Amino acid sequence: MNITCNFVTDFVELYHENLVSPETALAIRSHLKTCTNCRNYYREYQIIKNRKSAPAVNILLNNEDISETEERLCANLSKRLRRRRFLELVGTSAVIGAGSVMLTIGLFLTFKNSDNN
């Protein structure tokens, strides 16, 4: 299975909680081995997720480091959601525009044929 970075970031929480199928987990693991950005994203996710359950993490990272990591993750997620919404809007507009063009052509041909009769 060939997966994208967006897929990994969308499923990172389910992967971390072992709530994905074995095939999906294998695909995500393979992607994490080859993609530095996703691997870093997953490591940051693990730090935040494990912060409450692993006191040793709090010793290694001060509160400023944790806050900066959380802010980076939130900003990244927000940016991805805005981009996805924009692309959905553009796609919807393209479909509506294409439908309008097809309707206009259909009406034009209908009226043209009725004028010839």
Q: Give tens-digit pLDDT for 83-99.
A: 888 888 898 999 999 99
Question: Is the model's pLDDT at 76 over the cut of 60?
Answer: yes
Burial class (CB in 10 A: 0-12, 13-18, 19+), 12: buried
CA gap 56, 105 in Å, rounded: 68
CA gap 3, 35 in Å, rounded: 11
Are the CB atoms for 3 and 27 separated by under 8 Å?
yes
Q: What is the mean pLDDT of the chain?
A: 81
Structure tokens at 113: 């044929």
